[in-house]
Copies of this chain bind each other. A is one copy, B any other.
């Protein structure tokens, strides 16, 4: 592996921070490839929430250098016949179960592979912990310079599982978006592009009409939840030093509708 190659491996899981599971995955990787640089991207995806996991990946992957390996494991069906896949993008590789987690990246992927060569896994593969037994050992082979085509079996991109909800629906002068992610601050992050903001005539969450904020969090009226352009390029409903989620009492998956004409 050349000196300027990336040795970054990111982890996106719903494993949380209260167990040794993430640490054990790191043990597998660092024990076999000590030069790896492991970045915890997100371990607090709500358990089994594939949409939130896909969104978290979508907004994070672009900030990593070429060659980065992204491992994403939110996997309620671990241990079934569900495939484990590797998606080869122009400048990175994503390893994940084939359950829709990689949806945002499929269109732009060069090739897709199924991980089904047990010689590259831990010698004993459990039914419940493939991050440790399958994905981490495969990442180690990739770091060591083995090509994906030698580690896995190419499959048709169109055979991969995709999930709904990552793209808004546009019909005439109406856009129907979704709250795809709620962050620590209670910011409600939608799947509607920030560039839409100047065209908004009216924006509602459920039946509640929302105001547009002028700029940053600080410009939002006290006690109100308003719409601004989030840092990842999507419209976001936020409050000033308060939680928009608590103010509006909404959950992930809630619809946001915009009238543009």
A interface residues, Cβ below 8 angstroms from B:
6-8, 10, 12, 14-24, 26-28, 30-32, 34, 37, 39-44, 47-48, 56, 59-60, 63-65, 68, 76-80, 126-129, 132-133, 183-185, 215-219, 228-232, 236, 240-241
Contacts and interface: CB of A to CB of B under 8 A. Distances in A.
B34 A37 contact: yes
B44 A23 contact: no
B37 A23 contact: no
Contacts of A24: 41, 59-60, 63
Contact of A80 (B39, B63, B77, B218): B218
9 tightest A-B CB contacts, nearest first: A79-B216, A129-B231, A31-B65, A16-B184, A23-B41, A18-B44, A126-B231, A127-B216, A27-B63
Contacts of A79: 215-218
Contact of A217 (B16, B34, B68, B76): B76
Nearest to A184: B16
